[in-house]
Structure 1
Amino acid sequence: MLLLLLLTSAFVLLPCTGAARIIGGREVKPHSRPYMAYLEIQNDRVSFSCGGFLIRPDAVLSAAHCVDMEGKVRITVILGAHNIRGRERSQQRIHVRHWVIHPKYSRDGFKNDIVLLKLKPKARINKYVQLISIPSRKEHVRAGAKCKVAGWGWTSVTQDTTNVMREVELKVQNGTICHQLFKKYQRQSMICVGDDFSKKATYYGDSGGPLVCKQKAHGIVSHARESNLFPEVFTRISYFEPWIREQLRNFALQELPDFPSFD
């Protein structure tokens, strides 16, 4: 789980907090979300976790704010997990040496909060580890749609934790609501999700996980207000689809003989 006390110094610099906890959700059937990734992240001062999801055997999508840290950052991706603290044979642990943060990512309002992690070696695709599709640039999830978010984050505001994957169903909201609540909200690149009536949300530990609508990853858990968790903001994947495809092509080129390595 993401350690709140260790992240205090990072969050005081921001008007909002990274989103991350499954509140009001339920435990999923083990290994029923085989695209989910658990990210162990650390530098010389802090250690915490985020979510992510596998979109190609060599690529995991997550939130840029998860890896936006000073000093040398070390990332380990765990695939095929249900109980993240258990020694499950299904798990694959891959140390990430190269990742690409969107060039226009900003801590100010969590703009362009997206990062692509290159896996080397590639993930072994099996019944425990599989890919999830992303939408094209023209595909948009509409207000009123019911989507799901899974993760291993906190389960209550009192810092209750879970070792097993949990999931919550959230409703997509009209962007006007988030535009009124978040000064830096951008309709084209963000999705407004969740409402006060359902009392369901994500929070510490789930950042970077996917908003899954009709079996596609349409959003990435990004940020919420510290004072009120509803609604929250997700990165809109369709807006970044051309950038994602470009980075995936670069990943493939790096595998060719005599191509310069950026690891």
Structure 2
Amino acid sequence: MGAAILLWVVALLSMQVFSSAQGAYVGIVNGRVAKPDSRYMVSVQKKNKHICGGFLVSESFVMTAAHCITWGEDLTVMVGVNDTRIPVKHDYVHPEYDFRTLHNDIALLKLTKAAEKSSSVEWISLPEKDGDIKAKSVCSVAGWGKKKTNGPATYVFLQADVVIMKREKCQKLWRPTEISKERLCASGKAGFCQGDAGGPLVCDSVAVGVGSFNEKNNCDKPRKPNVYTKISGYLPWIKRVLKEVKY
């Protein structure tokens, strides 16, 4: 991504704690410096400070986690290695989002102007139809943030490989938290932590999930897999927003 990517992040907000999981503001543990092909990634910012990750799904829309959005707050996104800042015109939080359980933890951000495609800016493909990712598939996550629980911030954009877990196994590990069919689970020696949420889970160059929550206070060696909102479960809503919303 180049050295300029390091300027995207100027601060990290404190984590939010839920009853059995930590959701907002998660980063990458045991990651590596991200590849240049991650040019769909953006930094979602409030008052010019990084609060969450996100990713371009078209020239006009960014996808992120619903829990990253605070009603009435003005947001901007930073795209590309040239730190292009684009204000958010409107946020579309899924109408059935539940902040207590983080069900339907997905949102779309409408930009005030279109992002210009370049060698450092591109949007990522979404699934064409609803369906689960095969267990044991190797996918990737990317973001900024802490590399261990409550550790110091690292402002390097990191990427890591993770492995998709069967929903039944994930449900047993997360009980009583419900792992519905609209969620995906991934585990491995890497994953997210405090510092950045809303980034994509990417399998075969397609964004299949949005980072939602992980095990509370245990980024380094979690006993429970990271949980993502499954994008394909929301395709009708996504298509409706992308189609109906015009400048």
TM-score interval (norm. to shorter): 0.7 to 0.9
Within-5 A mapping of 1:32-71: 32-41=37-46, 48-67=50-69, 69=70
> Where does the alignment leave 5 or more consecutive residues of structure 1 unmatched?
82-89, 256-263
Within-5 A mapping of 1:165-184: 165-180=157-172, 181-184=174-177
Q: Does 1:244 align with 2:234?
A: no
Structure 2 Cα separation of the partners of residues 134 and 39 of structure 1: 20
- What's the % identity of the aligned pairs? 32
Structure 1 residue 108: Cα displacement: 2.4
Structure 1 residue 182: Cα displacement: 4.2
* TM-score (norm. length: structure 1): 0.82
**Of 112, 115, 119, which residue of structure 2 is paired with 1:120?**
112
Structure 1 residue 188: Cα displacement: 1.3
Equivalent pairs counted in the alignment come to 231
Deviating beyond 3 angstroms after TM superposition, the runs of 4 or more aligned structure 1 residues are: 227-230
Match of 1:74 in 2: 74
Do the aligned partners of residues 96 and 250 (structure 1) sit closer, same or farther apart at CA in structure 2, a change above 3 Å counting? same
Q: Considering only CA atoms, is the larger Rg found in Structure 1 or Structure 2?
A: 1
Structure 2 Cα separation of the partners of residues 49 and 118 of structure 1: 17
Structure 1 residue 119: Cα displacement: 0.8
Q: Which moved more, 1:230-239 or 1:136-145?
A: 136-145
Residues 172-211 of structure 1: per-residue CA shift (max 9 Å, x gap): 101123212143323310001114xx2x110122210000
* Secondary structure of 1:22's aligned partner: strand
* TM-score (norm. length: structure 2): 0.87
* Secondary structure of 2:191's aligned partner: coil
* Higher percent of residues as strand: 2
Match of 1:21 in 2: 27
Match of 1:96 in 2: 88
